[in-house]
């Protein structure tokens, strides 16, 4: 383990002072409420379940001291925000549940927080907002505990398709210098899918890490009824190393098989080495290779196929 430079420590402490001030953590109450940051976080965690939380589980989630947790819950109980119920299996354990009043308070806190973040982001351009989110993701990836991170795949929701176009364009411009013609290609693929796709035989997946969009992939019809295409595999830089690419490709393969396709093909370029390794591990075989000039640069295109 390398020694931590004192300059790095000073810069992180400086950033912490800046950020805690800008998001209002140092105020007497969070977003102008009578609750501090910890109390607001307890309300948030309780709001994520309708059946309540065991006090021990709540402390573990937030890393709270037992005594401090008890004082917070005592205050909430007196205010009518929560109720406590002892476990029938273990009388030493208690379950905490938000009351209707508690949910009203938590909803109001959530709305105030969202308005505050919106005001914070309004002066930034769309590109700067994307840079900020990516930078935050990098911090989480480097300092978070990987095995405990929540990784899941879901269907596309409103706004996801636009995000796919934007992130493909920005990532390939940043990492490989590709020009706007690549963005145009991605936009056409996404638009064709949005306007006319068969849900039984075509699908898009969004990968999330701790609730944040981190990747995507498409499975669409190929040139004949027996062939499906894997398209636009994407993983955010901050989420790489979590196995997202493999999970997205596996989901595409499983869906193509279930939909009755005989083969799954994809087109990529040889410089995308990490993606190529994922395809190879999944059993794809290189069937064609050709040099071309696209997206403002010289490339070697590759077609890979997996027999299903």
The string of pLDDT tens digits covering residues 97-148 is 888 898 898 888 888 888 888 888 888 888 788 788 778 877 876 776 545 6
62 by DSSP, 3-state: which? helix
- Report d(CA 271, CA 30) in Å as an integer: 48
pLDDT the model gives residue 248: 95
For residues 144 and 68, the model is more confident at 68
Sort 232 into a burial class: Cβ within 10 Å, 0-12 / 13-18 / 19+: buried
Q: Which two tokens stand for residue 79?
A: 């205010």
Q: Residues, the chain, total? A: 308
pLDDT the model gives residue 137: 73
φ, ψ of residue 85 to 5 degrees: the values are -140, 130
Nearest partner of 268 among 231, 306, 239, 237, judged by Cα: 231
- Mean local confidence (pLDDT), 50-79: 84
Which positions ≥6 away from 7 have C-beta within 8 Å? none
Residue pointed to by tokens 């979590």: 242
C-alpha 124: how far from chain center: 21
Beta bridge partners of 84: 96
Beta bridge partners of 96: 53, 84
Radius of gyration of the chain (CA): 24
User: What percent of the chain shows pLDDT beyond 70?
Assistant: 92
CATH label, 6-121, candidates 3.40.50.1970, 1.10.10.60, 3.40.50.9100, 1.10.10.10: 1.10.10.10
Q: pLDDT digits over 238-276, tens only?
A: 888 888 999 999 999 999 999 999 999 999 999 998 899
pTM score of the predicted model? 0.57
What's 236's DSSP letter? -
- Mean local confidence (pLDDT), 271-291: 93
Is 70 exceeded by the pLDDT of residue 30? no
The percent helix, strand, coil of the chain (3-state, each to 5) is 50, 25, 25
For residues 88 and 95, the model is more confident at 95
Residue pointed to by tokens 């917070």: 72
Is 60 exceeded by the pLDDT of residue 233? yes
Which positions ≥6 away from 103 have C-beta within 8 Å? 47
- Report d(CA 128, CA 126) in Å as an integer: 5
Q: Which two tokens stand for residue 220?
A: 């669409």
- Report d(CA 57, CA 64) in Å as an integer: 10
What's 122's DSSP letter? T
pLDDT band at 60 (very low <50, low <70, confident <90, very high): confident
* Domain boundaries along the sequence of the chain: 6-121, 146-307
Element (H, E) at 153: strand 151-155
For residues 307 and 53, the model is more confident at 307
Is 70 exceeded by the pLDDT of residue 21? yes
Show the beta-strand stretches assigned E in 193-257.
203-209, 212-221, 227-235
For residues 228 and 117, the model is more confident at 228
Asked if residues 11 and 4 have their Cβ atoms less than 8 Å apart, the reply is: no
Is 60 exceeded by the pLDDT of residue 1? no
- Mean local confidence (pLDDT), 205-225: 92
pLDDT the model gives residue 130: 79
**Considering the chain, what is the average pLDDT of its residues?**
87
φ, ψ of residue 151 to 5 degrees: the values are -115, 130
What's 33's DSSP letter? S
- Number of Cβ atoms within 10 Å of the Cβ of 172: 18
Q: pLDDT digits over 159-183, tens only?
A: 999 999 999 999 999 889 999 999 9
pLDDT the model gives residue 243: 87
pLDDT band at 35 (very low <50, low <70, confident <90, very high): confident
Element (H, E) at 305: strand 297-307
Is 90 exceeded by the pLDDT of residue 187? yes
For residues 85 and 145, the model is more confident at 85
- CATH code linked to domain 146-307: 3.40.630.30
């Amino acid at each position: 383990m390398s020694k931590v430079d004192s300059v790095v420590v000073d810069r992180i402490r400086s950033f912490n002072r800046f950020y805690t001030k800008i998001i209002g953590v140092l105020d007497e109450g969070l977003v102008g409420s009578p609750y501090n940051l910890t109390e607001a976080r307890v309300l948030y965690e309780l709001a994520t379940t309708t059946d309540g939380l065991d006090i021990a589980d709540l402390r573990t989630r937030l890393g709270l001291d037992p005594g401090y947790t008890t004082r917070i819950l005592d205050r909430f109980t007196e205010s009518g925000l929560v109720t406590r119920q002892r476990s029938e299996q273990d009388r030493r354990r208690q379950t905490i549940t938000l009351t209707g009043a508690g949910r009203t308070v938590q909803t109001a806190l959530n709305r105030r927080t969202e308005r505050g973040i919106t005001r914070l982001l309004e002066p930034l351009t769309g590109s700067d907002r994307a840079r900020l989110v990516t930078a935050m993701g990098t911090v989480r990836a480097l300092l978070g505990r990987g095995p405990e991170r929540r990784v899941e795949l879901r269907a596309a929701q409103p706004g996801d398709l636009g995000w796919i176009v934007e992130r493909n364009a920005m990532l390939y411009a940043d990492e490989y210098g590709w020009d706007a013609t690549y963005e145009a290609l991605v936009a056409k693929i996404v638009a064709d899918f949005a306007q006319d796709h068969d849900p039984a035989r075509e699908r898009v997946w969004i990968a999330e890490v701790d609730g944040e969009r981190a990747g995507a992939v498409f499975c669409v019809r190929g040139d004949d009824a027996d062939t499906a295409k894997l398209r636009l595999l994407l993983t955010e830089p901050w989420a790489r190393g979590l196995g997202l690419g493999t999970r997205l490709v596996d989901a595409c393969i499983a869906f193509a098989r279930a939909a009755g396709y005989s083969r799954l093909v994809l087109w990529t370029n040889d410089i995308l080495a990490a993606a190529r390794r994922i395809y190879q591990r999944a059993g794809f075989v290189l069937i064609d290779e050709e040099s071309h000039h696209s997206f403002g640069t010289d490339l070697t295109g590759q077609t890979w196929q997996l027999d299903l």
